[in-house]
Amino acid sequence: MHPDAELMLTEFFTQLTVEVRASEHTVKSYRRDIKHLSSYCTDKGITQWADLQHTTIRAHIAGRHRKGLSSKSLQRELSAIRSFYNYLLKKGLVSANPAQHIQAPKQTRKLPKTLDVDQLSGLLEAGASSLLEIRDLAMFELFYSSGLRLSELSALDLTDLDLPDNSLTVRMGKGGKSRILPVGSKAVTAIENWLQQRSIKIPAADSALFVSTRGTRLGQRNIELRLEQWCKNKSIAEHIHPHMLRHSFASHLLESSQDLRAVQELLGHSNISTTQIYTHLDFQHLAEIYDKAHPRAKKKPL
């Protein structure tokens, strides 16, 4: 790039650091991202920032995409380029922002992994023979019964339960939103068993529903480790993490009810598009049944 173009870049980063007070991480990321653009311009014989066109930025991003960059990384690079050109616009050094309306290629959305009903039964009916296992079973039953997030289960207090009404209240869900959820009979029984043991063997416990043997609230990482230990003790080969129980709850409920709005409410999703990923899971399940059962769907032998 021309020395004048390099000076503009230096002044942009000075402004970003001193005036905007951007974090060190942001400045470092922007430097790296715009350096890629600068290298592209050098390869193409472009020496001034004002010479870049909409098509130039698009070609640069397409090239980065071909090199394997994710949609998230490309979005960040475009954000850096837009910020730089907005700075140049304010200074009157360019007449337009060539990155303004360019979008990164959409990321292929990965479908969440779920367990089928038989796998869930194997997990939850393996039996609990110790204090910790009685507590753990209550946690896992509640995960699957009510579709809780890991953070929500960890944050539950005794006062959030209404077992006679088969319900609980999530007071601080994602985004600070609260919601009331049903609790299934299996989960109610498991929780009652845990509360009975808790009152006898852990008398000094705090207000948390799920506590350690010392009476302190179980953290999210502790709950993850307990699920890993449960699977190991019960000889369950599948790698299962807490969110798989939430995904399974959503998938099984949608498969049976076909009520997307109800599932959205139960999961606590603010946007129904987040819940719609489970419709893909449901279709995937139906497609598998179709492939196996429909006489005209079976693949031809090779």
Q: Which residues are catalytic?
A: 149, 174, 243, 246, 269, 278
Contact 84, 203 (CB under 8 A): no
Contact 242, 138 (CB under 8 A): no
How far is residue 116's CA from residue 252's CA, in Å, rounded to a whole number? 8
How far is residue 12's CA from residue 49's CA, in Å, rounded to a whole number? 13
Provide the 10 A C-beta neighbour count for residue 66.
8
How far is residue 12's CA from residue 222's CA, in Å, rounded to a whole number? 45
How far is residue 285's CA from residue 208's CA, in Å, rounded to a whole number? 38
Contact 97, 86 (CB under 8 A): yes
How far is residue 159's CA from residue 207's CA, in Å, rounded to a whole number? 8
- β-strand partners of 157: 208
How far is residue 25's CA from residue 52's CA, in Å, rounded to a whole number? 27
What Rg do the C-alpha atoms of the chain give, in angstroms? 27
How far is residue 302's CA from residue 300's CA, in Å, rounded to a whole number? 6
Extended beta strands in the chain, E state: 161-162, 167-170, 179-182
Which 3 state secondary structure label does DSSP give 162? Answer: strand
